[in-house]
Amino acid sequence: MGASIKANSQNTGRRRRSRRHAPMAEINVTPFVDVMLVLLIIFMVAAPLLQVGVPLELPQAKGKQLQSNTEPLAVSVRNNGEVYIGETKVGLDEIKPKLEAIAANGYDETIFVRADKGVPYGVVAQVMGRISAGGFKKISLVTELEEG
């Protein structure tokens, strides 16, 4: 003689979610837009500061700009005769061994030579000779665009 209790179909122990507490299915894009605008401003301010190599006063010349897909390898010569590969100071006799070590990927890369406009032509020629002796045949001289 057991007693059976019939469960009420309306009160099964579960509560129905009300419309007020339903999860929101929309994505709020306002914070994403804010972050992207901040990043855009940061990159716009930082981009001019990312110049390649050592600060120099380059000579001016007319001509069109070369397009490059990769990060250029720059050899810079300062007015006092100091030579830099990228931002690393090297001696004139160290150019060939350093470039040979860098050339593990191959010698097809173009070397950009940047020199102050007060550097004697002979010093620039010596640097270019050392680069050529290091196995690089594509050498470009970097100048600023001539005004006027």
Instruction: Please report which confidence band the pLDDT of residue 22 belongs to, taking 50, 70 and 90 as the band edges.
Output: confident
Q: What is the pLDDT of residue 43?
A: 86
Q: What is the pLDDT of residue 51?
A: 59
Q: What is the pLDDT of residue 1?
A: 52
Tell me whether residue 42 is in a domain: no
Number of domains in the chain: 1
Q: What is the pLDDT of residues 77-119, one digit of tens each?
A: 888 888 888 888 888 888 888 887 877 666 667 888 888 888 8
Tell me whether residue 10 is in a domain: no
How many Å apart are CA 86 and CA 54, to the nearest integer? 7
pLDDT > 90? residue 141: no
Mean pLDDT, the chain, as a whole number?
76
Residue 62's identity, in one-letter code, is K
- SS3 of 89, please? strand
* CB 76 within 8 Å of CB 54: yes
Q: What is the pLDDT of residues 42-81, one digit of tens each?
A: 888 887 666 555 666 666 666 666 565 566 788 888 888 8
Tell me whether residue 11 is in a domain: no
**Structural domain harbouring 72:** 60-145
Domain at 136, CATH number? 3.30.420.270
Tell me whether residue 125 is in a domain: yes
Tell me whether residue 8 is in a domain: no
* CB 114 within 8 Å of CB 75: yes
What number is the average pLDDT over the span 8-31? 67
